[in-house]
Amino acid sequence: MKALQGIKVIELGQLIAGPFAGKTLADFGADVIKIEPPGTGDPLRKWRMLRDGTSVWWEVQSRNKRSVVADLRDADGQELVRKLAREADVLIENFKPGTMEGWGLGWEALHAINPKLIMLRISGYGQTGPYKDRPGFGVIGEAMGGLRHLTGEPGRVPVRVGVSIGDTLSSLHGVIGVLMALHHRTASGGDGQVIDVALYESVFNCMESLLPEYDAFGAVRERAGSALPGIAPSNAYPCADGSYVLIGGNGDSIFKRLMGAIGRADLADDPALEHNDGRVARVAELDQAIGQWTRERRSADVLAALDGARVPAGRIYSIADIAADPHYQARGMVLQTTGGDGQPLRVPGIVPKLSATPGSLDHPAPQLGEHTAQVARSAGWPSRD
């Protein structure tokens, strides 16, 4: 038995934000029917690195789903969605606001067909507001949400995070909304509802104290490279072998243990450094002391010493490090599957870990339209295969 077994989901979205939400639900047992346009399917099938003509990213994003080909721009495809919506619990879409309404598949139309249906709508700026009709991708949401302004080195061009974090954050907010809406429907006997997720809002929701600091003090946080402004010490420090280690010594008791490990009892016992606010005032001094110690040692020796002192520290992993790491293996975070080309492929594991109803990788990503006939028959829709 899986946590979401029996939940039926229609996924109309493409690329990242909508499909990542669908993947997360499918990993925990939801029956996710992915509707793809004829001919090409989801554009993600051709994104980044291809093996035998198909993106290996596709194998992750669409695992555990069923693929149905239907053109949502014509009456036939729209009718299929209506038929599926009658029995569905959740519908996911990440088109520009108004697109679904133009196809006759907006909230009012689908709610009339199935009052229990939950509709997850992910867009750049949300379904309302003066910007709602603007096209919006994750990178724009990251910028508008405040993340890009903080990312990079001081005085340099702001840089992007190396993955589509804005899309993924929106997906996860969407999944949270779906689970809350399902609980409301079950616990109170209520109807379905719309979950309106905006990319920029999902990013902004993770911006911690940016707004209250600006409101209370007029402070505009700027780029700080590898440091974490206002929290000390927390930074990346160079080692003798040319690598860096990340050290988080910002807890009060952790700071004392860190200073003991690097031979700076004078700093450990300094009452002015007992709490974070005092350490922030002298962060340059602390970073210099820690960096002087790490520069004289190989990263492995630094990490061993800090582990012995119970100080959070770690090296910066590449994907090669991740793939070889025994902890990833022990936690089931590197799974072996078979790609659409029949060749073995390692993919990320299931998150989060549930003790009683864990998720699993049961089916590889589908071929385009692999389940069209099957779904068409069950929905009473004339297949065009």
Residue-by-residue DSSP string for 156-167: S-----SS-HHH
pLDDT of residue 137: 86
Residue whose entry in the numeric block shows the structure tokens 């606001």 = 97
Radius of gyration of the chain (CA): 25
Q: Are residues 33 and 159 in the same domain?
A: yes
Q: Are residues 200 and 259 in the same domain?
A: no
pLDDT of residue 340: 86
Structural domain count, the chain: 2
**High-pLDDT (> 90) share of the chain, %:** 93
Q: Are residues 201 and 343 in the same domain?
A: yes
* AA letter at 36: E
Name the domain boundary from 292, 315, 338. Answer: 315
Which uninterrupted H or E stretch holds 258? helix 252-261
Q: Are residues 128 and 172 in the same domain?
A: yes
Using a CB cutoff of 8 Å and minimum separation of 24, what contacts does 208-215 make? 210/146
Report if residue 226 sits inside a domain.
no
| Cis before 233 (ω within 30) | yes
Name the domain boundary from 315, 349, 369. Answer: 315
Q: Are residues 265 and 334 in the same domain?
A: no
Report if residue 219 sits inside a domain.
no
Q: Are residues 54 and 191 in the same domain?
A: yes
How far apart, in Å, do the first and last CA atoms of the chain sit? 33
Cβ-based burial of 151 (10 A; exposed 0-12, middle 13-18, buried ≥19) = middle
Q: Strand, helix or coil at 236?
A: strand
Q: Are residues 15 and 151 in the same domain?
A: yes
| Position 380 confidence tier, pLDDT thresholds 50, 70, 90 | confident
- Residue 253 CA, chain-centre distance (Å), reads 32
Whichever domain contains 164, its CATH number is 3.40.50.10540
Report if residue 28 sits inside a domain.
yes
Report if residue 384 sits inside a domain.
no
Q: In what order do the strands lie in the sheet with 313-315?
A: 234-238, 244-248, 313-315
- Residue 384 CA, chain-centre distance (Å), reads 35
27, 31, 89, 167: which is the annotated catalytic residue?
Answer: 167
Q: Quick check: is 74 catalytic?
A: no
Residue by residue, DSSP assigns 330-349 as HTT-EEEEE-TTS-EEEEE-
- Cα atoms found within 13 Å of the Cα of residue 248, Cβ hemisphere only: 7
Residues in a beta bridge with 69: 36
Q: What value does the mean pLDDT of the chain take?
A: 95
| Position 216 confidence tier, pLDDT thresholds 50, 70, 90 | very high
Q: What is the pLDDT of residues 311-350, one digit of tens each?
A: 999 999 999 999 999 999 999 999 999 998 899 999 999 9
- Residue 349 CA, chain-centre distance (Å), reads 14
pLDDT of residue 383: 54
Q: Are residues 188 and 86 in the same domain?
A: yes
| Position 384 confidence tier, pLDDT thresholds 50, 70, 90 | low
Whichever domain contains 282, its CATH number is 3.30.1540.10
Q: pLDDT: is 1 or 93 the higher one?
A: 93
Rounded mean pLDDT, 7-27: 97
Report if residue 268 sits inside a domain.
yes
Report if residue 368 sits inside a domain.
yes
Report if residue 355 sits inside a domain.
yes
pLDDT of residue 379: 86
Closest CA to 58 of 38, 39, 43, 69: 43
Rounded mean pLDDT, 169-185: 98
Q: Are residues 125 and 273 in the same domain?
A: no
Name the domain boundary from 263, 280, 315. Answer: 315
Q: What is the pLDDT of residues 58-98, one digit of tens each?
A: 999 999 999 999 999 999 999 999 999 999 999 999 999 99
| Position 1 confidence tier, pLDDT thresholds 50, 70, 90 | confident
CB-CB neighbours of 352 under 10 Å: 9
Report if residue 224 sits inside a domain.
no
Closest CA to 111 of 17, 185, 20, 171: 185
| Position 228 confidence tier, pLDDT thresholds 50, 70, 90 | confident
Enclosing domain of residue 50: 8-205+329-379
Instruction: Assess whether pLDDT exceeds 90 at residue 100.
Output: yes
Q: Are residues 250 and 198 in the same domain?
A: no
Closest CA to 229 of 219, 238, 239: 219
Q: Are residues 359 and 270 in the same domain?
A: no
Give the C-alpha separation, 296 to 82, whole Å.
67
Q: Are residues 103 and 60 in the same domain?
A: yes
